[in-house]
Amino acid sequence: MKPIVILLLVFAGLGLLRCSPTPPPVEVEEVVLWEGPEQPNILWLVAEDLSPYIAAFGDSTVSTPNLDRLAREGVLYPQVYSPSGVCAPSRFAIATGMYPSHGGGHHMRTGPWYRPWTDEELAEMVFPSRPEGLTVYEAMPPAGVKLHSEYLREAGYYCTNNAKADYQFRAPVTAWDASNQEAHWRNRAPGQPFFAIFNFGITHESQIWARAADSLLVDEDLPVNVPPYLPDNDIGQRDVRQMYSNIVRMDQQIGEVLQELEQDGELENTIIFWYTDHGGPLPRQKRLLYDSGIHLPLIVRFPNQWRAGTVDDQLISFIDFKPTLLTLANIDIPEYVDGRAFLGTDATENQREYIHAAADRFDERYDMIRAVRDHRFKYLRNFSPEKGYYLPVAYREQMPVMQELLRLNQLDSLDEFQAQWFRTTKAPEELFDCVNDPHELRNLADDPQYQSQLLVLRAECDRWMKEIQDLGQIEEETMLSSWWPQGVQPSTQDPSISMEGQSFSISSATPGASIGYQWVSESDSLLPVWQVYQQPIPSRPEGKLAIIAHRIGYKASAVQLVDF
């Protein structure tokens, strides 16, 4: 056991950061985190579709005792943002450390990659929400990009995902020790450090209408604040109460996982992240680049309650999660990531000035919007101002309050703020004061008083899009044709094996491909877990060696069985 040392970013005037367009200077202080292993366990607890609607972030509508405990014993991060207002591009950013519009994962969605579909299944499937004729495809980030978990597996971690795998591509077999509904750290070898993700779908937008007939876990008359862009009537209030009821259920599920962690004696060996995959589930939240769609809560609890009860107000993007995860596990950060570590030995000395976000195709509807936000102002650029703000996504229209919005709009009975979403054209640029106008209802882009902020954020949007070579500027079919010549998905080259003394060396001619291997018995029956190939493998007198190669975005190679 030895002290773990990290860089603590100390902010002057912390409480004023949200209102300051120019962040204060940063001092860097070396701080001993805790007496523990160099490879701490890391646990991510991820709720779906949820803005900061919990007491720790100022909303005391319902009691969330387990999240309250994490908040008391951990650090609150109130300025965290997804680069997308929807799940699959958000998970792309987390898993790769790249902006979705940089790595090709910006359209929602490219295929049903939330579980490992076979090619045969895909050939028989029909996706009515996709544009007519659009091929099911996998996003293709640059060669050498690997999932965050693969780096930890290479470092000896046991990595599990329970169970959402919506990355915009099929995860290679090298990504996880287990990725399914039964995945759990308890299946690891004794003493092995773990990285475990648990996803909580109870707060997903679909659970508002899917549970409409269920009994609420909150009072039927619970006072709730309905956002000003939604109708504050019985239907609107009911859906908001259902959202809070689902939050109560999610908190109970969080408590069950924490109890298991304590039962195993691992609480004080584990860094716990609780966060959500983007903003809230209600209409004009999910899928949009307003804060209601991209702003999310984050709590990090460290072993022995280091920095317990504190607030860290720095700007954080999902692209920062991967480098932070790696450096907390004492793993080098790959050069290709767009993000920066906000914790750990490689934490950057410079805080973020801006976060960036993008919206492109959602299901069958195309639009293109880019966003830049500092601590106070949000800039939106609408690339299709001739299109209305509202995208009629069929999936969302199953929600009662969405149906009510549409009904009232047909009757011309919406008030000023509720009607904004149904404007038939968009302003080319929008600017919002997110401190004084948190719902982003008053566009300041044409106000002379705010021209300096507009010019700064406009220039930052230009700079960022150029830097990442924003793929949203290319039509989706054109982008796909550059990846798939003649419309055929490229395949990872079969791995080859060579003898080096008493060891076997494995390679693939496909640049950036990951290689998995396992020893199999005479029955040739493959196991569900593949090891990550890193160096020559000592030979064995019996058995066969199974090997596979897979570059993200390509088809995996055929499994090779080598008999010795």
* Main-chain phi, psi angles of 65, to 5 degrees: -60, -35
Closest-CA residue to 193 (of 38, 316, 64): 38
Contacts of 115 (CB under 8 A, 6+ apart): 163, 165
C-alpha 352/C-alpha 405 separation (Å) is: 37
Structure letter (DSSP) for residue 238: H
C-alpha 336/C-alpha 190 separation (Å) is: 34
Contacts of 124 (CB under 8 A, 6+ apart): none
* Main-chain phi, psi angles of 413, to 5 degrees: -115, 15
Task: List, as one string, the DSSP characters of 386-403.
Answer: TS-S----TTGGGSHHHH
CB-neighbour burial class of residue 118 (10 A; exposed 0-12, middle 13-18, buried 19+)? exposed
Beta-strand (E) ranges in 165-209? 178-179, 194-200
Closest-CA residue to 283 (of 231, 242, 225): 231
| Strand, helix or coil for residue 448 | helix
Closest-CA residue to 401 (of 190, 550, 239): 239
Amino acid letter for position 77 = Y
Residues 288/58, Cβ–Cβ less than 8 Å? no
Alpha-carbon 9 to chain mean position? 24
Beta-strand (E) ranges in 136-255? 158-162, 178-179, 194-200
Beta-strand (E) ranges in 74-166? 75-81, 158-162
Q: In Å, how far are 97, 237, 404, 553 from 400, measured between CA atoms?
A: 36, 11, 6, 38
Q: What is the Cβ-side half-sphere exposure of residue 249, based on CA atoms within 13 angstroms?
A: 19
Give the pair of three-digit tokens for residue 493.
């080259």
Closest-CA residue to 393 (of 79, 62, 184, 86): 86
Amino acid letter for position 264 = D
- Residue 409: count of CB within 10 angstroms of its CB: 15
Q: Which residues pair with 499 in a beta bridge?
A: 504
* 31 Rama class: left (phi>0) / alpha (psi -120 to 50) / beta: beta
* Main-chain phi, psi angles of 419, to 5 degrees: -80, -15
C-alpha 66/C-alpha 349 separation (Å) is: 33
87 as an active site residue: the answer is: yes
Contacts of 133 (CB under 8 A, 6+ apart): none
C-alpha 258/C-alpha 66 separation (Å) is: 8
From the candidates 87, 159, 434, 461, which is the catalytic residue?
A: 87
Active site residues: 87
